[in-house]
Structure 1
Amino acid sequence: MRIKSVKWWTYHILVGGFAVLMLYPVIWLLMSSFKESNAIFVTAKSLIPDPFILDNFAEGWKGIGGNSFGVFIKNTAVLVIVTLIGQVISSSLIAFGFARLEFKGKALWFGLMMVTLMLPYEVVMVPQYIIFSKLGWLNSIKPIAIPAYFGHPFFIFLLVQFIRTIPRELDEAATIDGCNTFNIFYKIILPLIKPALATAAIFSFYWTWDSLLGPVLYLNSPAKYTVSMALNMFLSNETVSNWGAMFAMSVVTLVPVFVIFFIFQRYVVEGISTSGLKG
């Protein structure tokens, strides 16, 4: 019993120590948001703000370019919702096709889709910008949101692996009962892949919420900026950067991320672990 107790305490102390180590940057960010802007890096070794101020949040919420930070949160929320819906719906349909349907060149198309996972965004950035420019989509969320409705390679792969764990006998039984292909997808497959869909939705939320390169490329009106662009605007190469306001608004933008994670973390674990199995 004494040996088990020592192992238990040792394990939890080590895990707790690693947790504190991983969370330290977030704790430092939170504490720095209550410090005076010009004292943040002077007192960087001290976590406790002295003096403890709330002005950074009020100043940061005023925003930039005559737009409050609430405008940027709203813009980002709209982009996240539109992109998330497109990626989850299109990826699930494409994954169903790869996992259940038979068509000519299926292996080739799946291989090409997987190759796109290894392409850095910088490779396609310039061609995409030229295409969207000719379409007149610049300074709007169209170049970011509309491609989401053609599937995301990572989500397609994740969902394909999940669908393959579902017995084909369910499809055959549904076919005997008179279901067509779409009904099999909608009534049989879709309800059974909810954990994987939730995982895809959460990752889509995270990646779109903190995306910077795409919005910087296509958005040039401050009224349409996302939170990542707004945070970047608090920094300046010509004048003094407003670190306090930036850290305060960084804390604000982290709140939805933590809330989503703690509410849906079990779906992330279940979706990723189950998708690695094949029935």
Structure 2
Amino acid sequence: MMLAGKVSLKTVRSFVLHVFVLAFSCLMIYPVLWMLSSSLKEGNEIFVNAHKLIPSVWTFSNYAEGFKGYSGQSFMVFLKNSFIVTISSVLGTVLSCTVVAYGFARISFKGAAFFFGCMMMTMMLPAEVLTIPQYIFFHKIGWVNTFAPLIIPSFFGTAFFIFLVVQFLRGLPAELDESARVDGCGHGGILFRILLPLLVPVLITVSIFKFYWTWDDFFSPLLYLTKPEMATVALALKNMSDNTFGTSWGMVFAMSIVSLAPVFLIFIALQKYIVEGISTTGMKG
């Protein structure tokens, strides 16, 4: 009887936990479902029947209209621009952060702790403080209305990602470096031939976060890109909202769903690396 009572109590707790997680998951995913539903509704039904997730009339033309874009530019142009900026930024971030993190984690040099502390302090510096100086600099060298201000800074490292990679490197045995030196490897060989394959989980984590942040970035494209043909997806969605002549919200929601597709696909394909990459960054060698 006591065993049955314990098993029953454990079952009840598990059931309650699963119900809570399911309810919380539905709460979190509801906005996406609402946006998907709205992308298939007629304009006047979106807010009149906002509580209904199933459209009265399925309007797939919202997607066709959305892909026409604005100012003579197809939405495919904006997707292409976002992919160019995002993928280039991800590659620059991964390369620069890996090299810098290796220097902090594996090379002993005078003032290493001081410089690492200075780098970490930059994480506390508000981005707004840098906006005007950066804009003036990029304007002076003629980078406004190009992708350069959105891409090039990524090749100079990001403090948060450097910290993640440093912590991961510190969890790897130092004996790997010593064995590689015995075989005649220098720092380049140790990093790219020995350690890089082991860094895959944390580098994929860095790539995912950088992809999300760059893909969703609205302020930087708004600041540096004024030509319609240069717009990224986030900027294009804002420009497709015309408060003067009326916004076709069904079209805007349809393109919002399209813009979310790469994010969902990447998360589904690489979600296991997010947990693995973050959970091991606190390990010490």
Q: 1:128 deviation in Å?
A: 0.3
Instruction: Name 1:242's counterpart in structure 2.
Output: 248
Of 243, 253, 257 in structure 2, the residue corresponding to residue 251 of structure 1 is 257
Residue in structure 1 matched with residue 280 of structure 2 by the alignment: 274
Structure 1 residue identity aligned to 2:108: E
- Report which stretch shifted further, 61-70 or 111-120: 111-120
- Could you tell me whether the CA contact under 8 Å between 1:234 and 1:243 is conserved in 2? no
Does the 8 Å CA contact 1:72/1:226 hold for their aligned counterparts? yes
Deviation at 1:54, TM superposition (A): 0.8
Which position in structure 2 is the counterpart of 1:203? Answer: 209
Residue in structure 2 matched with residue 88 of structure 1 by the alignment: 94
Equivalent in the alignment of 2:4: none
Listed as ranges, the gaps of 5+ residues in structure 2 are 1-6
The runs of at least 4 consecutive aligned structure 1 residues that moved more than 6 Å come to none
Deviation at 1:235, TM superposition (A): 1.5
In the TM superposition, what are the counterparts of 1:1-279 in structure 2 within 5 Å?
Answer: 1-279=7-285
Which structure 1 segments of 5+ residues have no match? none
TM-score (norm 1): 0.97
Residue-by-residue CA offset, 1:45-84 (whole Å, 9 max, x unaligned):
1211112211111111100110110110011111111111
Q: Which amino acid aligns with 2:212?
A: Y
Task: Give the share of equivalent positions with the same residue, in percent.
Answer: 51
SS of the residue corresponding to residue 51 of structure 1 reads coil
Q: CA RMSD in A?
A: 1.0
Mapped to 1, the partners of 2:150 and 2:118 lie a distance apart of: 22
Q: How far off is 1:237 after superposition?
A: 3.1
Structure 2-normalised TM-score?
A: 0.95
* Amino acid of the structure 1 residue aligned with 2:60: L
Report the Cα distance in structure 2 between the residues aligned to 1:2 and 1:111, rounded to whole angstroms.
53
Deviation readout 1:177-233 (Å, 9 max, x if unpaired): 111111111111111111000000111111111111111111111111100011001
Q: In the alignment, residue 282 of structure 2 is paired with which amino acid?
A: G
Q: How many residues align?
A: 279
AA aligned to 2:27 is L
